[in-house]
Amino acid sequence: MVICGFHAVEESLRSGVHGSLLVSRSGPRSQALKALAQGQGVAVRSAAVKELNRICGHDRHQGVVLLYESPGGPGTVKANLQTALAAIQGSAPLILLLDELNDPRNLGAVLRSADQLGVDLVVTTIRRSVSQTPGVIRASAGASRYVPLVPVGNLVQAIERCKRSRYWIYGADMDGESLQTVRFDGPVALVMGGEHRGLRRLVRERCDFLVRIPSRGRVDSFNVSVAAGILLYEVRRQQGFPAFP
C-alpha cells in the first residue's frame, strides 16, 4: 500500500509498519523522516518527483512516500468483533459504528477524531463502505494507524452484539433528541449514518436512543465527520475525559 505526505508517513512509521521510504527532497522534515525510518529498520532511498507522482497518482505527496508491506500497531484491522469488544478495558468504553461511509476523506477525518478522543473501537461495514485505503490514511494524517478497526458484514447484528456486551446504542439522527438534553451513561456505542441517507431504517430501529446536534444553519445538516467529532467530544466530556492527560 502507498502512504503519502509528512503526517501520514510519520505516524505510519511510528506505528511500526515495514516497507520502503522514498524521498524526493531535502530539508529538516525529510531528514527527520529518514532518521525515523532508519531507526525502525525501514529502507530509505531517493526518488525523482516524477516517480512519486506516478506511484501516488497525484502530486500532493510532499516529496515523501512510504510503500509498506504489513501494517502494525494498535490500528491493525481486527477480524472478530466479539474478540475486539472483549479486549476493551477501562471504566468508560466508547465505540463508534459507521453505517456505510463512502468518502475516504470522511472516514479519514472520523478516524482522526476517534484517535484524538480515545475511541476504543471503530466498526465499519464491509459492503458499500470505503476501506482503509491510502486516501483514508492520508485524510486521517496517519491517525488511522492507532484506532482499532473491525469490518463487519451486517451492522444490525453488530449492534446486537454490542448490546449483549452491555453497550447503550446512540444513533445520530435528525429526528433524535437534542444533544443538550441527552445523558450518555455506561458503555457507549455511537452510530453514524452514511453521507447521503444517514442511518438505514433497520439500523435506526436497533438504536436505544436517537440524538441530534442542535443547529441553526440554513443547510441540511453537519457533515458526517464534523458531526462525529462533536458527538464523540460530548460523550467524553460527560464521561469526564477518562485517562486523558
Closest to 190 (Cα-Cα) out of 126, 242, 142, 238: 238
In this predicted structure, what is the pLDDT of residue 221?
A: 73
Query: What's the whole-model pTM score?
Result: 0.72
Give pLDDT tens digits for 33-75: 999 988 888 889 898 998 888 888 788 888 998 887 544 444 5
In this predicted structure, what is the pLDDT of residue 131?
A: 62
Domain with CATH 3.30.1330.30 in the chain: 2-70
Q: How far is CA 238 from the centre of its chain?
A: 21
**Vertex 89: Cα angle to 235 and 183 (nearest 5):** 20
Domain with CATH 3.40.1280.10 in the chain: 81-238
Phi/psi zone of residue 186: left (φ > 0), alpha (ψ -120 to 50 degrees), beta? left
Strand partners, 167: none
Q: Which residue do the cell numbers 457533515 mark?
A: 223
- Residue 217 — very low, low, confident or very high, per pLDDT cuts 50/70/90? confident
- Residue 184 — very low, low, confident or very high, per pLDDT cuts 50/70/90? very high
Interaxial angle between packed helices 224-238 and 104-116, expressed in degrees from 0 to 180 and rounded to the nearest 10: 10
Q: Which three cell numbers stand for residue 220?
A: 441540511
CATH 3.30.1330.30 fits 2-70, yes or no: yes
- Residue 127 — very low, low, confident or very high, per pLDDT cuts 50/70/90? confident
Domain 81-238: what homologous superfamily? SPOUT methyltransferase, trefoil knot domain (3.40.1280.10)
Over residues 122-145, mean pLDDT: 73
Closest to 238 (Cα-Cα) out of 122, 117, 89: 117
Q: How far apart are CA 217 and CA 94, in angstroms?
A: 29
